[in-house]
Structure 1
Amino acid sequence: MVSPRTSRWNVRLPDLAGSRALVTGASDGVGVEIARGLAGAGADVVLPVRTRAKGERAIAGIRAELPRASIDLVDLDLADLGSVRRCAEALHTDGRAIDLVVLNAGMIALGQRQRSTSVDGLELHFQTNHLGHFALVAAILPLLSRGRARVTAQSSLAAAHLGIHWDDLQLERGYSAFKAYGASKVALSLFALELGRRSDAAGWGITTNLSHPGIAITNIGPAALRDSRRVGVRIARRAMEAGVGGTPAEASLTAQFAVASPDAAPGTLYGPGGFMHLQGPPRPQPIYRRVSDVAAAERIWAISEQIAGVRFPAVVARGDQGSS
């Protein structure tokens, strides 16, 4: 088996000493490799984790290679809005500005035919992959603004092919895990790009872009894909079986580049530059049609504020800018 730490490519990051980075979903897989890369460049990294034991193992693994790595844990379960609030409170108590953010955490319940809900009663993919991140960013916006943060949201190839079901946002009818996953990744991507636009309008100092990891060869990937009958999932499974995919270390490079490289631009999608964007070094790519829809971004923003019970600062409507 190929080591998850093996990579055919690398990215050159600037000296990040003195910067504070936050990476969600970094207790294993692609996320821990993103954290490893940022810590290796000198950033002080904070890992919001659902399971402390996994987070501690991740830190031990990073420090085995980087003994001087500065990494801290904070508790976070994105599927629990109460946990999101407590995480934000802990970050505010710490008081440090946050300079780099990767909204990487995500889940996909492939093979699970029954719809699952969070402790807040929301469809689990929607809350874990999108709404929890939305609420977290709203709660720590002052820390991000102080750090003039660069925020990268981890999108997915699924966002190119699937969309949000506006008349059934929680997928109470016709549920499938793949459909729920794709919709949640579209929602997260729309949010991230809208955050950048609103920051520009309001002077928050935050810039945003998107990354996607291609297909990562992980221990859970083949098992999760094994029983699914969807065409897109079959293609992904066959690609992994044929060796067309990246290790977690390789799949982490697009997010590392997007969030930290001086060559990465706001409002851009970065993905693997190889065959079908499944693997390869980071390259800019066309933003998916559904993700570039500004009206849809404003719509999911308003819905997310209502469902999560959070409010971002008001921004002058685009049509009113420059009017007296």
Structure 2
Amino acid sequence: MPSRGVVVPDLDGARALVTGATSGVGLEIARVLAAHGAHIVLPARSRAKGESAIAAIRETAPAARIELRDLDLVSLASVREFANGLVAEGLPLDLLVLNAGIARVGDRTREVTEDGFELHFQTNFLGHALLVLSLLPLLRSSHARIAVQGSIVSALYGVSWDDPQFTRRYSALRAYASSKSALALFALELARRAPEVRVDLCHPGVVPATAIAPEIRARVAPAIHDFAVGRLWNPPAQAAEPALLALTTDVPGPAFCAPGGLLQVSGPARVRPAFRRLSDLDGSRRIWDLAQKLATTA
């Protein structure tokens, strides 16, 4: 289904990679890009979920060109294998949307990946950072446009610099917020270090109708549940619009694309001032150096 609020151009001949496109907001982003002619690279942890997503996209874009690839951001080996395969093929990569993420906001137990990193830190930040660093030659040669999906929680919390993996006092919400803020700062440094690519930031607002945070839905009173999920907060199709705007806006970048409604919770996408915590130039350099160090040593 084409986006109602963002004018997406003809993308015939363009190749687009969207992480987290097997469901929710990522699926809607991929659906719109495919409907406008883009060739979609759809990475998935689960082949079954990937095939289901392809079928869903083809319900509204029957001629969609989609290739399913294996990618697990929770495994740095998987990220390297995926990226190295794309680089070895040498095909252009015109659009990249770093959308995948988790928000285990109801968990009280700190989870660690097989690589030894806190789960939010690796899934939301480090896995994506390694993906970009590994794909950078391809992105540069393609003069790619990159949309980096952040979170509204960055308005409240930045990177937890003293303990970015929350080894001492764990808070799932803070771990999520820190990881998403880290990814946004990494993206801003990418824009400075790789002028051949266009990098813009976005966030989808509050989207509890997706699978990313079922705990949010569980805390909504039954009497207003349907209204809150369907009307007060952003439905997935509208929540996809900020990323689509980030891929198409011609305002000087890096732009910050977000819902246009009150407190950026919902509403049609528009370019807005970035959250204050995402204007930290020193933090951008620090997080870039951290990503490079961890990506090369883990």
TM-score range, shorter chain: over 0.9
Shift in CA distance, 305/221, structure 1 to aligned 2, threshold 3 Å:
closer
- How far apart are the structure 2 equivalents of 1:220 and 1:307? 29
Once the 2 structures are TM-superposed, how far is the Cα of residue 222 of structure 1 from its aligned partner? 6.8
Aligned AA for 1:276?
L
Match of 1:47 in 2: 42
Once the 2 structures are TM-superposed, how far is the Cα of residue 240 of structure 1 from its aligned partner? 3.2
Which runs of 5 or more structure 2 residues have no equivalent in the other structure?
Answer: 220-224
Q: Does 1:161 align with 2:156?
A: yes
Q: Does 1:80 align with 2:68?
A: no
Aligned AA for 2:202?
S
- How far apart are the structure 1 equivalents of 2:150 and 2:37? 25
- How far apart are the structure 2 equivalents of 1:17 and 1:146? 19
The 5 Å alignment of 1:228-239 reads: none
- Asked if structure 1 preserves the Cα contact closer than 8 Å seen for 2:74 and 2:113, the reply is yes
Structure 2 length-normalised TM: 0.92
Which runs of 5 or more structure 1 residues have no equivalent in the other structure?
Answer: 229-236, 311-324
| TM-superposition CA deviations, 1:191-223 (whole Å, max 9, x none) | 1111001113xxxx1110101101124153673
Once the 2 structures are TM-superposed, how far is the Cα of residue 43 of structure 1 from its aligned partner? 0.8
Shift in CA distance, 138/223, structure 1 to aligned 2, threshold 3 Å:
closer
Q: 2:101 aligns with which of 83, 87, 106?
A: 106
Once the 2 structures are TM-superposed, how far is the Cα of residue 164 of structure 1 from its aligned partner? 1.5
Once the 2 structures are TM-superposed, how far is the Cα of residue 180 of structure 1 from its aligned partner? 0.3
Q: Does 1:244 align with 2:232?
A: yes
SS at match of 1:276: helix
Q: 1:279 aligns with which of 266, 275, 293?
A: 266
Q: Does 1:186 align with 2:177?
A: no
- Asked if structure 2 preserves the Cα contact closer than 8 Å seen for 1:215 and 1:240, the reply is no
Shift in CA distance, 288/43, structure 1 to aligned 2, threshold 3 Å:
same
The 5 Å alignment of 1:75-224 reads: 75-200=70-195, 205-220=196-211, 223-224=214-215
Number of aligned residues: 293
| TM-superposition CA deviations, 1:57-76 (whole Å, max 9, x none) | 00011112211101111111
Aligned AA for 1:273?
G
Structure 1 length-normalised TM: 0.85
Shift in CA distance, 264/63, structure 1 to aligned 2, threshold 3 Å:
farther
SS at match of 1:307: helix
Shift in CA distance, 240/102, structure 1 to aligned 2, threshold 3 Å:
same
- How far apart are the structure 1 equivalents of 2:197 and 2:146? 7
SS at match of 1:62: helix
Once the 2 structures are TM-superposed, how far is the Cα of residue 41 of structure 1 from its aligned partner? 1.0
SS at match of 1:167: coil
Q: 2:65 aligns with which of 42, 64, 70?
A: 70
Aligned AA for 1:34?
I
- How far apart are the structure 2 equivalents of 1:11 and 1:287? 19
- How far apart are the structure 2 equivalents of 1:238 and 1:296? 40
Task: Provide runs of 4+ in structure 1 moved above 4 Å.
Answer: none
- Asked if structure 1 preserves the Cα contact closer than 8 Å seen for 2:5 and 2:269, the reply is no
Q: 1:256 aligns with which of 233, 239, 244?
A: 244
